[in-house]
C-alpha cells in the first residue's frame, strides 16, 4: 500500500510539473510542394498546392527552449517530366510514361516531425519562435494523373517508398489571447533526404514551403 501511494504521488507530481511545461497546438498549413531530381531523364515540372494538418506538442526543458513533437497528415506531391519511357507500377496495372510526358503525383503521408523550438521573451502579447528538426513520414496514399488522361488518378503506392525522411526549418509568431491560448502563424521550409519513388532510376526528393497557421493551448 505504501508503495502504491508513493508511486501515485510521484505520478501526480510529474503530471503537475510537466503539465506546466507542455503546450499543445493544432494547425492547418497551406503549402506548395515540388520534386527535385538528380537525373536528367526525370525532371521537376512544377509545384502542387495542398494542405497539411496535425497537432504539435512542445515539451519545454528550459523557459524558452522546447522539444517539438508532431503528428499529422501531410498532403504533398509535385509534377515530374520523363524524357525516356518509364514504367509506373499501379495497383491496377503496369503503365508507362511516354517520352516527354508530364505526370502529377499526389502523395499522402503520416507526418511525425520532431525538432527543437526556440522562443523569445514575450513582448506585449507577442512571442517570436524559431524551429528546426526532421520529418519522418510514412506513405499511406499515392495517386498519379496526366493532362491527357493516360493516367487518371491511378493508385501508385507500389511505385512509392513507404518511408520518407526530410528536414525542416521555420519561424513564426505566437499572439497570446489569454492564459496559455495563442494564435500561431509562421512559415516553414522542408526538404527531403530520401528517395520518394522506387523504379524510375533517379533519386526524387520532396521540397515544400508552407504557411503555418494554428491555435496553441
* Portion of the chain with pLDDT greater than 90, in percent: 70
Cell matching residue 55: 497537432
pLDDT at position 16 over 50? no
Residue closest to 190 by CA, chosen among 37, 44, 52: 52
Nearest 5 degrees, angle CA 175-CA 179-CA 182? 25
pLDDT at position 12 over 70? no
Residue with more model confidence, 16 or 38: 38
**pLDDT score of 157:** 92
Domains, in order of start, for the chain: 22-216 (2.40.160.20)
Mean pLDDT, all residues of the chain: 89
With bands split at pLDDT 50, 70 and 90, how would you rate the model's confidence at 27? very high
With bands split at pLDDT 50, 70 and 90, how would you rate the model's confidence at 5? very low
Q: Render pLDDT for 136-174 as a digit per residue (tens, 0 to 9).
A: 999 999 999 988 878 888 999 989 999 999 999 999 999
Q: Render pLDDT for 63-89 as a digit per residue (tens, 0 to 9).
A: 899 999 999 999 999 999 999 888 887
Residue with more model confidence, 150 or 118: 118
**pLDDT score of 3:** 58
Residue closest to 141 by CA, chosen among 121, 156, 122, 123: 156
What average pLDDT does range 102-127 have in this prediction?
Answer: 96
Amino acid at each position: 500500500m505504501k508503495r502504491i501511494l508513493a508511486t501515485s504521488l510521484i505520478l501526480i507530481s510529474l503530471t503537475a510539473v510537466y503539465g506546466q511545461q507542455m503546450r499543445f497546438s493544432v494547425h492547418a498549413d497551406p503549402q506548395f510542394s515540388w520534386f527535385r531530381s538528380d537525373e536528367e531523364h526525370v525532371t521537376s515540372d512544377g509545384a502542387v498546392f495542398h494542405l497539411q494538418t496535425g497537432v504539435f506538442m512542445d515539451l519545454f526543458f528550459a523557459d524558452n527552449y522546447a522539444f517539438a513533437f508532431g503528428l499529422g497528415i501531410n498532403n504533398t506531391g509535385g509534377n515530374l517530366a520523363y524524357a525516356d519511357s518509364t514504367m509506373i507500377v499501379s495497383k491496377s496495372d503496369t503503365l508507362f510514361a511516354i517520352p516527354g510526358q508530364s505526370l502529377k503525383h499526389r502523395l499522402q503521408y503520416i507526418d511525425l516531425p520532431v525538432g527543437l523550438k526556440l522562443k523569445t521573451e514575450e513582448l506585449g502579447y507577442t512571442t517570436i519562435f524559431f524551429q528546426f528538426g526532421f520529418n519522418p513520414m510514412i506513405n499511406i496514399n499515392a495517386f498519379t494523373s496526366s493532362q491527357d488522361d493516360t493516367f487518371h488518378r491511378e493508385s501508385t503506392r507500389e511505385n512509392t517508398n513507404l518511408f520518407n525522411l526530410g528536414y525542416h526549418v521555420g519561424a513564426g509568431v505566437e499572439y497570446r489571447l489569454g492564459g496559455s491560448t495563442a494564435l500561431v502563424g509562421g512559415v516553414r521550409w522542408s526538404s527531403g533526404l530520401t528517395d520518394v519513388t522506387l523504379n524510375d532510376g533517379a533519386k526524387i526528393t520532396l521540397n515544400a514551403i508552407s504557411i503555418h497557421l494554428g491555435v496553441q493551448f
